[in-house]
Structure 1
Amino acid sequence: METAEFLGLIAACCTTAAFMPQVYRAWKSKSVRDISLFMYLVFLTGTILWFIYGILIHSISIILANGITSILALIIIFLKLKYR
């Protein structure tokens, strides 16, 4: 594995892990009042586009980071709509 891709995987782990506490807290507390639906919809669009870009350039770090982060964003959006 080349150095750039290794660095990308470390960055992917950090940025993706940053969303996990928010998902966990929203799931457990059922409180999503202070979460912006619009922000998460725009964010989801961006992560999906990054995911597609990662596929096009064959970058596993971009694919993994944005694939997992998209799933986490979808969970937040689902919870936001469910617990309005």
Structure 2
Amino acid sequence: MNTLNLLGFAAGACTTAAFIPQVWQVWTTRSAKDISLGMYLVFVTGVMLWLVYGLFTKELPLIIANAITLALAGAVLAMKLYFERK
């Protein structure tokens, strides 16, 4: 593994881990009223596009980080939509 890939993995770990507190907060409070639906729709779309880009370029740091971020941000988006219907 080269230095550039290590940098990519470190960056991906930081940006991905940043979503864990948000997912936990929304899950434990069962509230996402202060979460911007528009922001999460655009963000999830962007992350999905980065994941596709990573798959096409075969860049493992992009693939792993964006797959996990997509799952976490997607979970927040899904909870936002679910909790607002209640």
TM-score, reference length from structure 2 = 0.95
Residues 5-57 of structure 1 show CA distances to partners (whole Å, capped at 9, x for unaligned) of 11100110000000100000000001100001111010000000000111111
Count of matched residue positions in the alignment of Structure 1 and Structure 2:
84
Unaligned residue ranges in structure 2 (runs of 5+): none
What letter is aligned with 2:23? Answer: V
The residue aligned with 1:46 is: 46
Pairing of 1:1-84 with structure 2 (within 5 A): 1-84=1-84
TM superposition outliers: structure 1 runs of 4+ over 2 Å: none
The alignment partner of 1:35 has SS state of coil
Separation in structure 1 between the aligned mates of residue 23 and residue 33 of structure 2, nearest angstrom:
13
Separation in structure 1 between the aligned mates of residue 44 and residue 83 of structure 2, nearest angstrom:
19
Separation in structure 2 between the aligned mates of residue 83 and residue 48 of structure 1, nearest angstrom:
23
What letter is aligned with 2:15? Answer: T
Separation in structure 2 between the aligned mates of residue 2 and residue 53 of structure 1, nearest angstrom:
20
Separation in structure 2 between the aligned mates of residue 49 and residue 14 of structure 1, nearest angstrom:
19
RMSD after superposition: 0.6
